[in-house]
């Protein structure tokens, strides 16, 4: 899907928000929902999405929603740092399939990084749901 198109309410993140699909929840407020990526590129790979949005990508989003979204990203990234003690954190966000986007509900990746560790492939192997739940609880415990 290119940058042009219409929002599909059947996308996986919309289903997670409606409770139709499971997710390992890390954090939630009135505006954002954060949960573990099931195909993590590193241990602790977390996603943050706007809860009330039909924007497929950043270009379509209301700036006020982006403010809430990135406030949530910072809050969760700080908690990831406290919980997992990474050496660095990659924050990424893709717009359109040619840029690497695969789910067309706006989202931001928080990817903890450790010295000397290469990233797993984007959309690679699936994580153990039980391990994701433990990680989600560890990160959630550090939310301030």
* 122 among known catalytic residues: no
| DSSP secondary structure letter of residue 121 | P
Contact assessment for residue 124 and residue 39, using Cβ atoms and an 8 Å cutoff: yes
Distance in Å, CB of 95 to ligand 5GP, minimum: 9
Instruction: Given the residues 68, 105, 107, 109, select the one marked as catalytic.
Output: 107
Determine the 3-state secondary structure of 124 from DSSP: coil
Of 78 and 122, the one with the shorter C-beta distance to ligand 5GP is 122
Compute the least distance from the CB of residue 81 to ligand 5GP, in Å. Answer: 20
Residue 88 or 123: which CB sits closer to ligand 5GP? 123
Tell me the residue number closest to ligand 5GP, measured at CB.
39
Contacts to ligand 5GP by CB under 6 A: 12, 23, 35-39, 94, 100-103, 123
**Chain centroid to CA 72: how far?**
10
Q: Which residues are tagged catalytic?
A: 107
């Amino acid at each position: 899907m290119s940058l042009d198109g219409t929002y599909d309410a059947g996308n996986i993140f919309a289903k997670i928000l409606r409770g139709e699909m499971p997710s390992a929840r890390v954090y939630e407020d009135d505006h954002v929902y954060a949960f573990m990526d099931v195909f993590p590129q590193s241990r602790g790979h977390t996603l943050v999405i706007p809860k009330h949005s039909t924007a497929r990508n950043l270009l379509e989003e209301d700036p006020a929603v982006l403010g809430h979204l990135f406030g949530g990203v910072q809050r969760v990234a700080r908690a990831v740092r406290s919980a997992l003690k990474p050496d660095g954190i990659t924050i990424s966000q893709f717009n359109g399939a040619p840029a690497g986007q695969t789910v067309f509900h706006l989202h931001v990746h928080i990817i903890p990084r450790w010295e000397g560790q290469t990233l797993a492939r984007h959309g690679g192997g699936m994580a153990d749901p039980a391990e994701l739940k433990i990680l989600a609880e560890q990160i959630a415990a550090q939310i301030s």
